[in-house]
Amino acid sequence: MGATLETPPEFKVIQAPGPLPDGSRAGDGPGCCQAPSPGERPGQPCCGPPIKPRPPQDPLGQPFVVGALDTPAGKVPQVISTLSWSDEWGTIKARWGVGRMSYTVEPGLYALGRPGPEAPVLVTANYKMSFDRLRRAMAGQEAWLLVLETFGINVWCAAGKGTFGTEELARRIKAAHLEKVVCHREVILPQLSAPGVAAFRIKKLTGFKALYGPIRAEDLPAFLEAGKEATPRMRRKDFPLGERTALIPVELVEALKYALPVAAVMFLLSGLGGGHGFWSQVWTRGFYSLAGLLTAVAAGTVLTPLLLPWLPGRAFGFKGAVAGLAAALVLAVFISALYPGNNLSLRLEVAGWLLLIPACSAFLGMNFTGASTYTSLSGVKKEMRQGIPLQIAAGAIGLGLWLAAGFTA
């Protein structure tokens, strides 16, 4: 189950900080990315850190290349649609954020199978998971795969950043001498690349016609068989449970990088005040603090994406807050049953976590605006303007109540 959205060819990509359904991340900075405005340098992200050029590698030396195909433009690396264990393991690691930003394919032209001069040219990003999903989707087919330099970012977000853009596509067509390789003059783009590529300019710059294929790589064989005509279903992008679940590992790991150091600090602060002794309070309230922070992370990065269609409200921060509040109530029952303090201390402790957990969960839940198919640029900006101050206020008050609980124990 998941929400769906019609995405016309002129679809405007929306990207907030967070992962895409294939595990790719939009960037490290807050806010939204969109195609560069006039005067902006293509390839420079509008949020997050600047893109750093990487040293080129030998395309033929990449582990997934099985050979080389001789063409009038020279040797072209050859790949197959079957993924090896190494490919699958690389995907697993990227899902968990291990080596994510170096999980790339060398840009350029590749041959899937043994394509001839009439075979279609499919364009993709150099994020290896995108590349692998494309070649696996084309099992039993032969095609030319033109890989653009997107610096390890997938098609959707790279189009928003400008790296999957008109100039880069034109540059790769010319660098590959594509006119010598194929007898037709067409390249097929993923539909979600539309915000970054002006098809009419590609025709003017290279002589090649840019066609927008279906949203999902899995629909490409049917799209090609139908004479490159997309059905309405091919123009729709949903956000089902499987895709939402796939986002959990990378978001969970990212959140824990910050939550665990904070938990260590709160673990020590929990011993301040009170009449039970420093270490006695550390081993009681400190344990609850660790449980509280882990509950907040789980609510924001696990419960929110899993329950997304069923959580009330439209704003992702609100959905995350609801999930966080439900989790906080469960923790409150747990603390109430085991907490050794007096009534005032207990009430302050519980009240603090009833504010802290939803605030953290709401912030983490907003990350999924970048992965969903039903956000808008103005909506994301509005949600962040309204939501972040409330999250900060709730978190600050909750932290104050938690600190006060220690001095009344």
Same domain flag for 77 and 33: yes
In degrees and rounded to multiples of 5, residue 307 shows phi and psi of -100, 10
Number of domains in the chain: 2
SS3 119: coil
Q: Which of 238, 259, 294 is the last residue of a domain?
A: 238
Which residues is 78 bridged to in the sheet?
A: 67, 111
Structural element, H or E, at residue 69 = strand 67-71
Q: Rounded mean pLDDT of 197-213?
A: 93
Does residue 110 surpass a pLDDT of 90?
yes
SS3 71: strand
Same domain flag for 58 and 12: yes
Structural element, H or E, at residue 215 = none
Does residue 391 surpass a pLDDT of 80?
yes
Residue 42: both structure tokens together = 């293509």
Same domain flag for 174 and 233: yes
pLDDT at 4 (0 to 100): 33
Same domain flag for 326 and 233: no
At residue 287 the predicted structure's pLDDT band, cuts being 50, 70 and 90, is confident
pLDDT at 159 (0 to 100): 83
pLDDT at 23 (0 to 100): 40
Does residue 82 surpass a pLDDT of 80?
yes
Q: Rounded mean pLDDT of 368-390?
A: 76
pTM strictly above 0.85? no
Which of the residue ranges 79-93, 136-150, 265-279, 287-301 would you say has the lowest mean pLDDT?
Answer: 265-279
Does residue 8 surpass a pLDDT of 50?
no
pLDDT at 323 (0 to 100): 97
Which of the residue ranges 32-41, 138-147, 286-295, 324-333 would you say has the lowest mean pLDDT?
Answer: 32-41
Q: Which of 188, 218, 238 is the last residue of a domain?
A: 238
Does residue 276 surpass a pLDDT of 70?
no
Same domain flag for 199 and 247: no
Mean pLDDT score of the chain: 82
Same domain flag for 341 and 199: no
pLDDT at 55 (0 to 100): 64
Same domain flag for 170 and 33: yes
Q: How far is CA 238 from CA 36, 190, 221, 234, 243, in A?
A: 26, 16, 19, 11, 9
pLDDT top residue among 375 and 255: 255
pLDDT at 54 (0 to 100): 61
Angle (CA) 271-274-277 rounded to 5° is 60
Same domain flag for 118 and 252: no
Which of the residue ranges 34-48, 103-117, 247-261, 379-393 would you say has the lowest mean pLDDT?
Answer: 34-48
Which residues is 210 bridged to in the sheet?
A: 187
pLDDT at 372 (0 to 100): 63
pLDDT at 301 (0 to 100): 95
Distance between CA atoms of 112 and 83, rounded to whole angstroms?
12
Same domain flag for 264 and 181: no
pLDDT at 370 (0 to 100): 65
Q: How long a stretch of residues is the chain?
A: 409
Distance between CA atoms of 1 and 391, rounded to whole angstroms?
29
- What is the CB neighbour count within 10 angstroms for residue 348? 21
SS3 408: coil
- Domain hosting 158: range is 4-238
Structural element, H or E, at residue 199 = helix 199-206
> What own/partner pairs with CB < 8 Å and gap ≥ 24 does 251-260 have?
251/18, 251/19, 251/301, 251/305, 251/364, 251/367, 251/368, 252/297, 252/301, 252/302, 253/96, 253/97, 254/97, 255/297, 255/300, 255/301, 255/364, 256/297, 259/293, 259/294, 259/296, 259/297
Same domain flag for 266 and 329: yes
Distance between CA atoms of 271 and 273, rounded to whole angstroms?
7
Q: Do 155 and 20 touch, CB atoms closer than 8 A?
A: no
What angle do the packed helices 377-407 and 343-366 form, to 10 degrees? Answer: 160
Number of DSSP helices (H) and strands (E) in the chain, helices first:
14, 9
> What own/partner pairs with CB < 8 Å and gap ≥ 24 does 378-382 have?
380/14, 380/16, 380/32, 381/31, 381/32
Which of the residue ranges 40-54, 277-291, 345-359 would you say has the lowest mean pLDDT?
Answer: 40-54
User: pLDDT tens across 130-184, in order?
Assistant: 999 999 999 999 999 999 999 988 888 888 778 899 999 999 999 999 999 999 9
In degrees and rounded to multiples of 5, residue 256 shows phi and psi of -70, -25
Q: What is the CATH number of the domain that holds 100?
A: 3.40.50.11600
Q: Do 214 and 208 touch, CB atoms closer than 8 A?
A: no
Same domain flag for 344 and 297: yes
Same domain flag for 80 and 93: yes
User: pLDDT tens across 315-358, in order?
Assistant: 899 999 999 999 999 999 888 887 655 678 888 889 999 999 99
Q: Which of 238, 254, 270 is the last residue of a domain?
A: 238
Residue 76: both structure tokens together = 């072209």
Does residue 129 surpass a pLDDT of 70?
yes
User: pLDDT tens across 229-238, in order?
Assistant: 999 889 887 7
Residue 159: both structure tokens together = 């189009």
- What is the CB neighbour count within 10 angstroms for residue 42? 14
pLDDT at 22 (0 to 100): 40
